[in-house]
Amino acid sequence: MNWHGQIDRTIWEINEAIQKSPEQARYRRELLRAQFLQHFERDKAFHVARDDRTFLFLHDGESPLVLLVHGAGGTPAEFRELGNFLYARGISTFCPRLTKTTARGDMVSWGSWVTQAQIALEAVTACSSTAFVCGLSLGGTVSLILHDRAPLSGVILLAPALYPRMSLKTRLLQVTRVVTPTVFYHFAGWNGEVIKAMEHARKNSAAIDKPLLALQAVDDRHLSPRGLKFVRKQARHADTDIKLLPEGSHVLTRGSAKAEVFQTIASFVERNAKTVAPVAREAVEPPSISDPS
C-alpha cells in the first residue's frame, strides 16, 4: 500500500474511533494530524518547495485553532510567518496547500476550492472548541462562503476577493465578457473561476453572526475596497472590526503593515477564545509536526 492509501486508512480508522468514543479529544487531534500528513506528503510527491508546503503548528492540549486559507495564486508561504507569530502567542494554526493557480493560468472550479477548504474546516472545528477561519484574497472569499457551515468562534478576512480593481481598459473589456469570456479573462488578467467565486459570494453570502475582523490596504492593486463595504453590510455581531489600512499591499501578511496585521489578528483571536495555551517564552519554535520530513 502506498503512502496515500496508508494515510486514507488511518483517517478511516480514526473516524471509526471517534464514532465509538466522541468524547476523546485525542482522536480528533489525530484526525487533524492525519489530514495534515495527507496534504504534506502530496506536496513532497509533487516537489513543492518547503516554504510552500502545508503546515500545522499545533499546541499540546486545548488551544484556539485557526484555519488559514491562502490566495488563488499563493501558497501556505503567505501565512507561514503569521503562523509562527500566532503559535508564539499560544494559538495553533493549520494551513493546507490548495490547488495552485495563477491569474492567467488554468484553475479547477472555484467550487472545488470551497470543498477542499470545507474538509479542512471540519477537521479544525472537530479538533478545537475554539476555531477560527482566516482567508486571504480568494481564501477570504471561500471563508465568507463557508462561515455559516461550521461552529466558528470568529471569521478573519484579509483583502477578501469580492470586487476586482479594474482599470479603464478592463472596464471596456467587460462588454466582451458575455460573448467571448476567454478573451476578457486573458486580456484583463483575471482567472474566470476567481471572478465566478466573487459573484457567487456577493449574491449568496449569509449574514455574518460571528465575531468578524476584516482588513484591506488602500494600496491594494488587485481588489477594490468596495469589498469591505459589502462585508460591513453583512456583519451582525457586536465584535466587528473592519479596517482600511493606509498601506500594506495586497498580501497583507507580507506587506509593510504586516506587524500591525499580525498583532490585530492575535488580539482578535485572544479576546474571542475560550482557552489560550500557556507560552513560557516570547518566541516559541513550532513543533516538528510543521515539517515531518
The ranges of the chain with pLDDT < 70 are: 1-27, 100-108, 166-191, 274-293
Tens of pLDDT along 19-40? 555 555 666 778 788 888 888 8
- Give the residue from 129, 60, 79 showing the smallest Cα distance to 289: 60
What's CA 262's distance to the chain center, in Å?
Answer: 15
Residue 281 has a pLDDT of: 41
**Cα 275 to Cα 273: distance, rounded to the nearest angstrom:** 6
- Whole-Å CA distances, 163 to 107, 213, 280: 19, 18, 43
**Residue indicated by cell numbers 504586516:** 258
pLDDT given for residue 42 in this prediction:
86
* CATH number for position 55: 3.40.50.1820
In a domain, 23, yes or no: no
pLDDT of residue 61: 80
Asked if the structure places residue 272 within a domain, the reply is yes
Is 10 contained in some domain?
Answer: no
Tell me, yes or no, whether 222 lies in a domain.
Answer: yes
Q: Look at residue 39 and tell me if it is in a domain.
A: no
pLDDT recorded at residue 105: 47
Which range marks the domain in which residue 141 is found? 48-278
Q: Is residue 5 one of the residues assigned to a domain?
A: no
Is residue 78 in some structural domain? Answer: yes
Q: In b/e form, how buried is each residue of 117-149, taking b as 16+ CB within 10 angstroms? A: beebbbbbbbbbbbbbbbbbbbbbbbbbbbbee
pLDDT the model gives residue 178: 45
- Asked if 216 and 223 touch (Cβ cutoff 8 Å), the reply is yes
- Residue 72: predicted pLDDT: 85
Number of domains in the chain: 1
Residue 42 located in a structural domain: no
